Chain A
Amino acid sequence: MIHLPKDETKAMVAVHGWSGILLGLLLYAVVLTGTAAVFAEEIGTWSAGHITSQSAFERPMADTMRALGDRTPKQYHEAVDLFEVGDHDLGAFFHRHEMDKGELISRGIFYVVGKDGRVTHSQQGTDEDVYGPRNDNALSSFLVDTHVRLHVPNPWGLLLTGIVGLSMLVAAVSGLLIHRHLLKDIFTLRRKANPVLVNRDRHSVAGTWSLPFAFILAFTGSFFSFFGTIGVPIVAMAAFGGDVVALTEAVYGTPGKPDPRPAAIGNFDRITSDAIVRAGAVPTFVAVENYGRADAKVTTYHPPKSGGLAPISLLYDGATAQFNQVKPLIGPAPSAGGTLAAIMSPLHFGNFAGMLSKAIWFGLGFAMCYVTYTGIRLWLVRREEGARSLGWLDRALVIVGLGLPVALLASTAAFLVAMPMGSATYWTPASFLIASAAIILAGFLWPTSTAFARVLQGAMAAIMLILLPLRLLTGGPGWASAMAAGQPVIVALDLAFLLTGGMLLWSVLRTSQSRQGAGHRVLQAAE
């Protein structure tokens, strides 16, 4: 239990309220899209109808790598990134590092290799082009991008979400400090009290249970936002006179004596099969340094082992394909800073224990959305009688709180239609903007915000219910073929949309029936 003096408690209540009000709607948008993005990979599989379950790293790739190296100019042999694209195809980005307007970028040639080992796509470009949205991942990419930078150009988008993260940190800590009876508040839900108290209890209970989670999310989220935008340039300035490449090399580079003599790359199949056995999981990413040189190094990155929190990376000698060592994710040897930095990602994304941790992160993220929404509502209710001008905020809360999920669902439906036509990268964000504009306009024109909230709930239910037929009509795999291909996530997401949509529809219908009944009784009484 925390007992702050009266004045300090008052100050903390004000800080808690204003931290939510000033950036609460943005915070809600960031947390809601982040909650959905916990399942970004699964949403990508579901929406694009990917049914291959064998990883690109489980297929032979040694000959492909040699062939790609031969056809790529030597200037792009400095590094190679290997990762999966589309339906478990192999993406290979041969590149070099360079500074562009003070920013470290990668420039080179990107290849997509199909399951038969043939190159299906190649393009020249930078890391921004390579890791940007593609037709088949436009939806999951859109979700992640909204969460990471709210579609505001970098670095401003990242700075904005970083500031939103700090406001969440402030709201979480001040929320903890204003609890006089923390343990009691966790279990207090007065169902028969007046509506304001009932809502306050719900906000308090949801907020208190998710407090540690809110703290972790806010801390790790602001770390990610400020890391590259402010942190790295400042630390590079202090420690390396502004040389960002030197800092990156010191932190992420693999130490060793340079040996620029030409040497053929080792057997990649031996590396990937050995890495899968050692780590107990397929690599999520493979990085090659100095391709085609005697000092080539290959690092494979894997998810954490069962019961572990930090991801694993293994280091191989590139020329001989011999295993070197288990390499810390950051730094050449295990260290406190490296370990802390390595666990920031699993702590933020909740991907350290498979579906279980993802489900918990999704649930707690949803609770955070509820806490943000009800927090702003409570702040408004307390000021309802005093200031009429806050009506716009009430409208804005309904528009963002319920309109954002509707706009996201609209962009999901648009993706399902546009992806088979090859125009999903355009229509996914465009449909979101069109839906958002329509919701904002309708929201301010609708007679009451309560009635508009019901309309939005109805729209949410309707879109959720049509997603399955839409997916099947546009050529998505059916439940039998998804299950047979080992992709139960497609069925699970279909069911989740159907159940949630059904429950929402039932709730909307029940509310309108009870309102009609109440209206009927009022009329009878008046007669």
Chain B
Amino acid sequence: MSPRSRRWIRIALAGPGAVIVALVMMAGMALWLPGGAAGIDNLVLPLILVPLIWAGLFFHACLDRRLGRIAIVAGVLLAIHGGLIAQKFGATQPAATESHR
């Protein structure tokens, strides 16, 4: 791969890539984080942490020499959290259909 295309892939991972993964993580974290003593930690912590998650992904994409590793880390985080959201919607969809009958 040419240095030019490597650079553009890195920019894509650090820019739109990091934003998408951070937003999907924010949604997914609400489903697996514990609620804590007040039962709200899973709702509040993702909202607080999203700028830091984005910054972490951004600097990882800028500083890691291996593009493959950046893509794997971002891809795994995206797949896990995206999967959790899909599972949640998959579970609520039939229940909603049942309740409408």
- Which residues from chain A sit less than 8 Å from chain B, CB to CB? 4, 7-8, 11-12, 15, 165-166, 169-170, 173-174, 218-219, 222-223, 226-227, 230-232, 234-235, 237-239, 241, 247, 250-251, 328, 330-338, 340-341, 344
Contacts and interface: CB of A to CB of B under 8 A. Distances in A.
Interface in B63-80: 63, 65
A330 B62 CA distance: 36
Interface in B47-101: 47-48, 50-52, 54-55, 58-59, 62-63, 65, 85, 88, 92
Contacts of A337: 36, 38, 40-45, 48
B79 to A, nearest CB: 16
Contacts of B42: 239, 337
Contacts of B50: 223, 226, 231
B37 A335 contact: yes
Given A12-B62, A234-B26, A235-B26, A227 B40 contact: no
Given A219-B51, A223-B51, A235-B26, A338 B44 contact: yes
Contact of A166 (B28, B47, B51, B88): B51
B27 interface: yes
B48 A338 contact: no
B62 A335 contact: no
Contact of B48 (A8, A165, A344): A344
A218 B85 CA distance: 29
Contacts of A238: 27-28, 30-31, 85, 88
29 contacts: A4-B63, A8-B65, A11-B63, A12-B63, A166-B51, A166-B55, A169-B55, A170-B58, A223-B51, A226-B50, A235-B47, A238-B85, A239-B31, A250-B39, A250-B40, A250-B43, A251-B40, A328-B38, A330-B38, A330-B44, A331-B39, A333-B38, A336-B41, A337-B44, A337-B48, A338-B41, A340-B45, A341-B48, A344-B48
Interface in B10-25: 23
A226 B51 contact: yes
Contact of B43 (A166, A226, A239, A333): A239
A251 B31 CA distance: 15
Contact of A332 (B28, B39, B41): B39
A222 B31 contact: no
Given A235-B27, A337-B44, 9 more contacts: A8-B62, A8-B65, A166-B51, A173-B55, A239-B43, A328-B38, A332-B38, A334-B37, A340-B44
Interface of B: 23, 26-28, 30-31, 36-48, 50-52, 54-55, 58-59, 62-63, 65, 85, 88, 92
Could you tell me the dominant secondary structure of chain A's interface residues? Answer: helix
Contacts of B28: 238
Contacts of A331: 38-40, 44
A230 B43 contact: no
A170 B48 CA distance: 17
Contacts of A241: 92
A36 B38 CA distance: 36
A232 B62 contact: no
A235 B46 contact: yes
Contacts of B47: 223, 226-227, 231-232, 235, 341
A11 to B, nearest CB: 6
B55 A170 contact: yes
A340 B58 CA distance: 23
Given A251-B40, A332-B38, A338-B38, A222 B63 contact: no
B82 to A, nearest CB: 11
Contacts of B88: 238
Given A332-B39, A333-B37, A334-B37, A341 B44 contact: yes
B93 to A, nearest CB: 10
Contact of B23 (A15, A173, A234, A328): A234
Residue from the set A12, A238, A328, A331 with the largest chain B CB neighbour count within 10 Å: A238
Contacts of A231: 26, 46-47, 50
B89 to A, nearest CB: 8
A222 B47 CA distance: 11
A323 B9 CA distance: 59
A230 B23 contact: yes
A21 to B, nearest CB: 16
Contacts of B63: 4, 8, 11-12
B51 A334 contact: no
Given A251-B43, A337-B43, A337-B44, A166 B54 contact: yes
A187 to B, nearest CB: 27
Contact of A219 (B23, B41, B52): B52
Contact of A330 (B27, B40, B46, B92): B40
Contacts of B31: 238-239
Nearest to A221: B51
Nearest to B40: A331
Contacts of B92: 241
Nearest to B36: A335
A335 B38 CA distance: 6
Nearest to B44: A337
Nearest to A235: B30
Nearest to B64: A8
Contacts of B36: 335-337
In this complex, which of A218, A251, A344 has the most chain B Cβ atoms within 10 angstroms of its Cβ? A251
- From B27, B30, B43, residue with most partner A Cβ within 10 Å: B43
Q: Which of A15, A227, A336: most chain B CB closer than 10 A?
A: A336
